[in-house]
Amino acid sequence: MKQEYDVVVIGAGPAGLAAAVAASDKGATVCLAEREERMGGILKQCIHDGFGLIRFKEKLTGPEYAWRYENMVKERPVDFLSRTFLTTMKPENGGFDLSFVNPEKGVFSVYAGSLVMAMGCRERTDRQIFLHGERPSGIFTAGQAQDFINLKGYMPGHKCVILGSGDIGLIMARRLTLEGAEVQGVYEIGSEPSGLTRNIVQCLEDYNIPLQLETTVTEIHGYDRLEGVTICRVDKNKIPRRETAVRIDCDCLILSVGLIPENDILKPLSVKMDPVTKGPVVDQNLETSFPGIFSCGNALHVNDLVDYVSESGHLAGERAALYGKKKIQVKRRITLNTAGNIQYAVPQNLTLPAKGTVPLFFRPLRSMGKGVAILKQGERIILKKNLNWLKPSEMNRLPIDLSLIDPDGMTPVFSLENREGVHA
Ligand SMILES: Cc1cc2nc3c(=O)[nH]c(=O)nc-3n(C[C@H](O)[C@H](O)[C@H](O)COP(=O)(O)OP(=O)(O)OC[C@H]3O[C@@H](n4cnc5c(N)ncnc54)[C@H](O)[C@@H]3O)c2cc1C
């Protein structure tokens, strides 16, 4: 007999945990499936503090933050399937037939009335940034190095170079230094760091670790073990200037060169994807273009704060529970267009009519000192807010009052302009 649930949540990281709690609180029967042994997702290996300042008004470590949510899940009637991997999903009778595999049951099926996809993201590797050559040991993604040091107790290397200034790389620069490694520097191809300013200060400046912008690694040296890398300055098109090549001796190269939302499982269902976020296109309920499939956390778009990840999990879980009860009325689904200095905004669509306030998350395309965010429908201004010091590396959150959006009106446009009112 196939077990049936109103809501099945895939992934027990902070997004999935919050979704399971919220769906259960709305009265849904809930199954939470996770491929690893324990709940917590990537937070299990993030042993530094700084998590939960918004959600719990406290500075927690990653495992502490995850533990709070794990307890909330355990207090509710949620079926947790650990070491359980989702392999396929097919639409069936208005819901979904899910095929899982785990060591206890082998291959088995579960029926879900609706689905919350909370599978997080994966890290880009050396091949994905065209760093070819020999394949000596000593080259790790920042998350792999974090796993080795914090969970397994191994040092990935003693003389390290970090490529990319993403948050995990910055955190690992500090971690490696504290563990006694020599971090030669962080090299970033862009003209601005891609991590949060607080991490640049707390992880590099406080430890005198140099950050060199507009620089990349072009060659890897060593056969069995990494012996060194060549770095080059790049021109404005990010093409290495060979005349600037310098060799740096090192036994470890850590890559922090971007995260890719984990959504391959959605491909067979032709769920519409956003080419910028690499996550699905969603409406304000975080429902994808495939009815009954909701997305949250880093699977939806890469977040820099776990508090926002949990917020999106709560919303997706709650709305997935209501979907089973057929409470969402749809009159019109419209696109939320963007203009000006916007890299992306989530949600990309609005399902109308709607009430209540939902968060709009966005990143600017370029850094901006003084900006003004405006949401308009025709000439009518729905929201206008002055914002300072906007950076592509830092996500912004604005609450939108959905009752102000006319379901029969023009397509709303969200823009970020400079204070003088000229598009940046
Ligand atoms: C490597 C890495 C290191 C990070 N370090 C920090 C940090 O130090 N500080 C900080 O503030 N933020 C850090 N972050 C960001 C922050 O932790 C994330 O924003 C947050 O954990 C994302 O939560 P999530 O639930 O969306 O994804 P995750 O925490 O990644 O959880 C996703 C879960 O889904 C499971 N899963 C995936 N596919 C399947 C499947 N098919 N079937 C079953 N289960 C599946 C995974 O095993 C995982 O447990 C890091 C992110 C990454 C990727």
pLDDT at 332 over 90: no
The share of the chain scoring above pLDDT 70, in percent, equals 97
- The arithmetic mean of pLDDT across residues 341-351, rounded, is 96
- Other Cβ atoms less than 10 A from the Cβ of 392: the count is 17
The ligand 1 atom at the shortest distance from the C-alpha of residue 39 is 49
Q: How far apart are CA 379 and CA 356, in angstroms?
A: 22
pTM for the complete prediction?
A: 0.94
CA of 242 to the centre of ligand 1 (A): 37
CA distances from 18 to 74, 81, 274, 300 (A): 12, 16, 24, 15
Q: Which domains does the chain have, with CATH numbers?
A: 1-122+259-328 (3.50.50.60), 125-257 (3.50.50.60), 332-424 (2.60.40)
Give the pLDDT confidence of 33-45 residue by residue, as tens digits: 999 999 999 999 9
Give the pLDDT confidence of 244-288 residue by residue, as tens digits: 999 999 999 999 999 999 999 999 999 999 999 999 999 999 999
Which residues have any ligand 1 atom within 6 Å of their CB? 10-16, 33-36, 41-43, 46, 51, 85-86, 118-121, 123, 143, 146, 168, 171, 259, 262, 265, 297-299, 303, 306, 309
CA of 89 to the centre of ligand 1 (A): 21
pLDDT computed for residue 328 by the predictor:
56
pLDDT at 31 over 50: yes
**Where do we find the tokens 């006319």?**
406
- Using pLDDT thresholds of 50, 70 and 90, give the confidence band for residue 424: very low
For a substitution probing ligand 1, which of 107, 298, 308, 311 has the most ligand atoms within 8 Å of its CB?
298
Q: How far apart are CA 275 and CA 171, in angstroms?
A: 28
The share of the chain scoring above pLDDT 90, in percent, equals 85
pLDDT computed for residue 273 by the predictor:
98
Q: Which residues contact residue 10 at a Cβ distance below 8 angstroms, ignoring those fewer than 6 apart?
A: 16, 33, 86, 115, 116, 117, 118, 119, 265
- The arithmetic mean of pLDDT across residues 111-117, rounded, is 97
Give the pLDDT confidence of 354-411 residue by residue, as tens digits: 889 999 999 999 999 899 999 999 999 999 999 998 999 889 999 999 999 998 889 9
Give the pLDDT confidence of 130-171 residue by residue, as tens digits: 787 778 999 999 999 999 999 999 999 999 999 999 899 999
**One-letter amino acid identity for 106?**
G
Q: What region, left, alpha or beta, does residue 260 occupy, with left being phi > 0 and alpha being psi -120 to 50 degrees?
A: beta
Query: Which tokens hold the place of 402?
Result: 């959905």
Q: How far apart are CA 202 and CA 167, in angstroms?
A: 11
Q: How far apart are CA 320 and CA 326, in angstroms?
A: 10
pLDDT at 327 over 60: no
Higher pLDDT, 196 or 15: 15
The ligand 1 atom at the shortest distance from the C-alpha of residue 299 is 26
pLDDT at 2 over 90: no
Mean pLDDT of the chain: 93
Q: Which residues pair with 99 in a beta bridge?
A: 88, 109
Residue 343 exposed, middle or buried by CB count within 10 Å (0-12, 13-18, 19+): middle
For a substitution probing ligand 1, which of 42, 82, 277 has the most ligand atoms within 8 Å of its CB?
42
- Closest C-alpha residue for ligand 1 atom 33: 11
- Using pLDDT thresholds of 50, 70 and 90, give the confidence band for residue 230: very high
> Are the C-beta atoms of residues 374 and 414 closer than 8 Å to each other?
yes
The SS3 of residue 386 is: strand
- Closest C-alpha residue for ligand 1 atom 8: 46
Q: Which residues contact residue 110 at a Cβ distance below 8 angstroms, ignoring those fewer than 6 apart?
A: 2, 3, 4, 5, 8, 31, 33, 97, 98, 100
pLDDT computed for residue 128 by the predictor:
76
